[in-house]
Chains A and B, each alone.
Chain A
Amino acid sequence: MSNFIFGRYLPGHSWIHQMSPQSKLLLCFYFVVVIFFANNLPSYGVLCVLILVAILSSGISIMYFLKGIRPLIWLIIFTVLLQILFSSGGHVLWHFGPFSVTDESLINGGFIFMRFLLIIMISTVLTLTTTPLAIADGVQTILKPLKKIRFPVDTLALMLSIALRFVPTLMDEMETIMNAQRARGVDFGSGSLKHRVKAAVPLLVPLFTGAINHAENLSTAMEARGFSDSEHRTKYRLYKWQGKDTISWLIFILVGVAVLFIRK
């Protein structure tokens, strides 16, 4: 777990850190869409340069990003291999039984690899530079139009921010309970499947009862502080659209248009 950097936040004061979360989130979606338009080497080259610029401007070392991808590399390689070995069409270079490698499948495999890499990179840039609470606020701002069709945006945002807030708390609690049960002779993560499932009970029951206790205490405390419904609230944290956001969007739109022209 400790090597897994996806979803963690590193405090900083870089250009990307200071952008507003809603524009970062949308920029992320936009970039993912652009990735799927790219279909030849130059277009992927442009996107790689852009992602490199984004990583450099976040002020976090590239080595750290590469290390963070390592746990996912097997998933990527597995998918790419499936693509290469089982796709048909194009000139056959090598085949053995049901497997065949064609020039087209090699190219497609390469593209899939690039897509995976770019998507993981951009979302890692987002999560490393944005606090979970800011992401929740960003989601709320983006989903605001859905209020028109009576979608409970504020309630969802509240649930999201509480959930995000309690992830580390529950993780800590899980760690403590695991240690306490280990000290009472439970072996986690060893033995047969049946044994492992049985070992999870002394962990899950206290974790659930703990979560229910948290929920009860939190709702009481919220009511005591005057919370009645999630609408009709004012906001403490305000994220304004700044010059930085506009400039970043301009760069990304330029690159997007360039990709559309370069692609075959």
Chain B
Amino acid sequence: MDTAVSFSQVTHTYQANTPFAQNALDDITLQIEKGSFTAIIGHTGSGKSTLVQHINALLKPTSGQIDVLGKMISPETTNKNLKAFRRRVGMVFQFPEKQLFEETVLKDIKFGPKNYGVSDQDAEAAAHEAMELVGLDKSFSNHSPFDLSGGQMRRVAIAGVLAMNPEILILDEPTAGLDPKGHREIMDLAKFLNQKKQITIILITHQMDDVIDYASNVIVMDQGKVVKVGPPEQIFNDPEWVYHMQLDLPSSAEFAQQLKLAGVDLGELPLTVEQLANKIAHLVGKGDTK
């Protein structure tokens, strides 16, 4: 597969050359494949958000360079001529409902495409398509975004990003503060976009169950460094290390780990509920073990 994003020896220092200088990224080298579903995990302040803001050049590296869809971003990159590039990388920030401002939902969703020079008609078509994707009824079109509920506002904001037809979609904790249903819907949408539309998804999350259920590739960050890259099964196979990184195990693995402490060893850690159920069934000897 092709690479969509490639970091080579990227460092980023906030407020360089002042007493407030803070090293946020430290010599990052990594690749993200086109069409993959990558989860970035790590405890608070490990540099996840800083890392993803480099992908659409909102932040520039202090040293090193990044290749995103063939576009080179280096410390010398200026803000000029970045527009066409930024359209290809959609970014949903934490609590994206904060960015809504237009009078109506439709206008707000059209705002992105229109900034990139799409005609009004095409923008409207894209907006309707995006609304359908995020599960917003057409009747919301002429509502003010400020009259909606929190979950609906979040969908409008995500639709505003999807309407630009990005090739890479970055989601920074998209389900924070949502109820379980809203959570599942947003995550299923991400999966749908990834599988049916071949959009590369980069997800920052603290929910290890989501990592197991959705991601094909995981990047673990700690203190501005990438400490581990691999498929989810490989990341979570060492509970001690996971705890040491101040992360959690997925709930099935956590349950198995507790069982082990109580004297019931299931062997290799199960990651999904299904695996866990199978192992327990196998253990009690009347299970379906296929």
Query: Is the pair B58, A185 in contact by a Cβ cutoff of 8 Å?
Result: no
B288: shortest Cβ distance to chain A, in Å? 48
Q: Quick one: given A2-B18, A3-B18, A202-B111, are A182 and B98 in contact (CB under 8 Å)?
A: no
How long is the Cα–Cα vector from A185 to B112 in the complex, in angstroms?
Answer: 6
A251: shortest Cβ distance to chain B, in Å? 27
A213: shortest Cβ distance to chain B, in Å? 9
How long is the Cα–Cα vector from A5 to B17 in the complex, in angstroms?
Answer: 13
Query: Is the pair B86, A183 in contact by a Cβ cutoff of 8 Å?
Result: yes
How long is the Cα–Cα vector from A202 to B93 in the complex, in angstroms?
Answer: 15
Q: Does A205 contact B (CB under 8 A)?
A: yes
Closest to A128 in B: B19
Instruction: Tell me which of B19, B91, B161, B164 has the highest count of chain A C-beta atoms within 10 A of its own C-beta.
Output: B19
Q: Which residues of A contact B15 (CB under 8 A)?
A: 2
25 pairs, CB–CB < 8 Å, chain A vs chain B: A2-B15, A2-B18, A64-B19, A173-B98, A176-B93, A177-B98, A177-B99, A179-B53, A179-B93, A180-B98, A180-B99, A183-B56, A184-B111, A184-B115, A185-B86, A185-B115, A186-B115, A187-B79, A187-B83, A190-B79, A202-B99, A205-B101, A206-B101, A209-B101, A210-B98
Query: Is the pair B146, A209 in contact by a Cβ cutoff of 8 Å?
Result: yes
Q: Which residues of B contact A209 (CB under 8 A)?
A: 101, 146
B157: shortest Cβ distance to chain A, in Å? 8
Residues 26 to 69 of chain A near chain B (Cβ within 8 Å): 64
- A residues neighboring B (CB under 8 Å): 2-3, 5, 10, 64, 173, 176-177, 179-187, 190, 201-202, 205-206, 209-210
Q: Which residues of B contact A206 (CB under 8 A)?
A: 98-101
A14: shortest Cβ distance to chain B, in Å? 14
Q: Quick one: given A3-B18, A64-B19, A176-B93, are A183 and B101 in contact (CB under 8 Å)?
A: no
Q: Which residues of B contact A205 (CB under 8 A)?
A: 101
A130: shortest Cβ distance to chain B, in Å? 16
Q: Is the interface of A mostly helix, strand, loop or mixed?
A: helix
Closest to A206 in B: B101
B282: shortest Cβ distance to chain A, in Å? 48
Q: Does B87 contact A (CB under 8 A)?
A: yes
Taking A176-B98, A183-B93 as known contacts, 11 extra A-B pairs with beta carbons closer than 8 A to each other, sorted by chain A number, are: A2-B15, A173-B98, A180-B96, A180-B98, A183-B56, A184-B111, A184-B112, A184-B164, A185-B115, A187-B79, A190-B79
- B residues neighboring A (CB under 8 Å): 15, 18-20, 53, 56, 58, 79-80, 83, 86-87, 89-91, 93-94, 96, 98-101, 111-112, 115-116, 146, 160-161, 164
Query: Is the pair B161, A183 in contact by a Cβ cutoff of 8 Å?
Result: yes
Query: Is the pair A179, B58 in contact by a Cβ cutoff of 8 Å?
Result: yes
Closest to B89 in A: A183
Closest to B94 in A: A176
A227: shortest Cβ distance to chain B, in Å? 26
How long is the Cα–Cα vector from A177 to B164 in the complex, in angstroms?
Answer: 18
How long is the Cα–Cα vector from A210 to B97 in the complex, in angstroms?
Answer: 10
A151: shortest Cβ distance to chain B, in Å? 37
Q: Which residues of B contact A210 (CB under 8 A)?
A: 98
B155: shortest Cβ distance to chain A, in Å? 15
Instruction: Tell me which of A2, A5, A10, A173 has the highest count of chain B C-beta atoms within 10 A of its own C-beta.
Output: A2
Q: Which residues of B contact A187 (CB under 8 A)?
A: 79, 83
How long is the Cα–Cα vector from A45 to B15 in the complex, in angstroms?
Answer: 35
Query: Is the pair B160, A184 in contact by a Cβ cutoff of 8 Å?
Result: yes
Closest to B57 in A: A182
Q: Which residues of A contact B116 (CB under 8 A)?
A: 185
Query: Is the pair B86, A202 in contact by a Cβ cutoff of 8 Å?
Result: no
Return the 3 tightest CB-CB contacts between A and B, nearest first.
A185-B115, A205-B101, A184-B112
Closest to A188 in B: B79
How long is the Cα–Cα vector from A210 to B98 in the complex, in angstroms?
Answer: 7
How long is the Cα–Cα vector from A185 to B93 in the complex, in angstroms?
Answer: 15
* Selected contact of A183 from candidates B90, B98, B146, CB within 8 Å: B90
How long is the Cα–Cα vector from A241 to B14 in the complex, in angstroms?
Answer: 38
Q: Which residues of A contact B20 (CB under 8 A)?
A: 2
How long is the Cα–Cα vector from A71 to B189 in the complex, in angstroms?
Answer: 48
How long is the Cα–Cα vector from A187 to B83 in the complex, in angstroms?
Answer: 8
A220: shortest Cβ distance to chain B, in Å? 16
Q: Which residues of A contact B79 (CB under 8 A)?
A: 187, 190
How long is the Cα–Cα vector from A183 to B146 in the complex, in angstroms?
Answer: 21
